[in-house]
Homo-oligomer: A and B are copies of this chain.
Amino acid sequence: MTRWRITVEYDGTGFVGWQRQENGPSIQEALESAIERFSGETPRVFGAGRTDAGVHASGQVAHFDLEKATGAATVADALNAHLRPDPIAVLDAAAVEPTFDARISARQRAYLYRIVNRRAPLTTDRDRAWPVQTPLDARAMNEAAARLVGKHDFSTFRASLCQARSPIKTLDVLDVAREGEEIRIEVRARSFLHRQVRNIVGTLKLVGEGRWSADDVTAALEARDRSKGGPTAPACGLFLTEVLY
């Protein structure tokens, strides 16, 4: 038995999300099917981040166990061959210690949220960024973002369906930077509440539009009440970019 760690990239547009569900195709199911077609075995695949429907990944990490003896390059190439034509790619595969757990062993998860801030609709970036027409002040967004860095009760930014035991999380990084017409929001933490990143981005957009101040963000955080936060930003702008162990 070998435990395999894989790094996975995907375009989440046509999927119900990472997690296997009855109502449509998931990334997990596509990977498990590819593993079965390659090996004849039916291990469960465990991912570091349970991305929602429409959320993308450039650096998701997952693990699974195989009886079959094989090499790392073969695992990656065979899975990629069996994943076609789904927009899911195994970037890397490695044999790891049997104690490695993609979800539990993770020290830090990194997400990127992309906003394209212009009047014209998207073409080549459609479904891979949030198009926002109102001019956004990225500097003001970045200043307000600093209010959320550190250890806080994030109930204001937590989806009602969130199953985490505690609403207390520690944001290591929350940076907002403009690159031309694109606004890139980088966020890093050991773990996140359900929809935390998208709820934070929807709130920072209010700041970018000048409708909210940084103090309003602090007040919303301190209210510990989802109804005091901004709206949820759409899934299409979100990318799981890296998981550190």
**A contacts, CB < 8 Å to B:** 9-11, 56, 58, 76-77, 80, 83-84, 87-91, 118-124, 126, 128
Which residue, A56, A88, A89, A123, has most C-beta atoms of chain B within 10 A? A123
Q: Is A87 in contact with B126, judged by CB distance below 8 angstroms? A: yes
Please indicate the chain B residues that have their CB under 8 angstroms from the CB of A87 in the complex.
122-124, 126
Counting chain B CB atoms within 10 Å of each CB, which of A9, A10, A128 scores highest? Answer: A9
A-B contact pairs, 10 of them (CB 8 A): A9-B124, A58-B124, A76-B119, A76-B120, A80-B119, A84-B121, A87-B123, A89-B120, A89-B121, A91-B118
- A91's partner among B10, B84, B120, B128 (CB-CB below 8 A) is B120
Q: CB-nearest residue of chain B relative to A118?
A: B91
When the two chains form the complex, which single residue of B76, B80, B124 contacts A128, counting CB atoms closer than 8 Å?
Answer: B124
A-B pairs with lowest CB-CB distance, top 9: A89-B120, A87-B123, A11-B124, A11-B123, A91-B120, A9-B123, A89-B123, A89-B121, A10-B123
Chain B residues in 8 Å Cβ range of A56: 123-124
Q: How far is the CB of A93 from chain B (nearest CB, A)?
A: 10
Question: In the assembly, what is the distance between CA of A122 and CA of B89, in Å?
Answer: 7
Residues of B within 8 A of A83 (CB): 121
Contacts of A118 in B (CB 8 A): 91
Given contacts A56-B123, A58-B124, 5 further A-B contacts (CB under 8 A): A56-B124, A76-B120, A84-B121, A87-B124, A89-B123
CB distance from A186 to the nearest CB of B (A): 16
* Chain B residues in 8 Å Cβ range of A77: 119
Contact yes or no, B120 A90, CB < 8 A: yes
Q: A90-B120, A120-B89 are in contact. Are A126 and B11 (CB under 8 A)?
A: yes
Q: Who on chain B is nearest to A86 by CB?
A: B123
Interface centre among A118, A121, A124, A126 (most CB of B within 10 A): A124
Please, which residues of chain B bring their CB within 8 A of the CB of A84? 121
Cα distance, A122 to B128, chains bound together (Å): 14
Q: Compute how far the CA of A119 lies from the CA of B9 in the bound complex, rounded to whole angstroms.
A: 13
How distant is A27 from chain B, measured CB to nearest CB, in Å?
10
Chain B residues, CB < 8 A from A128: 124
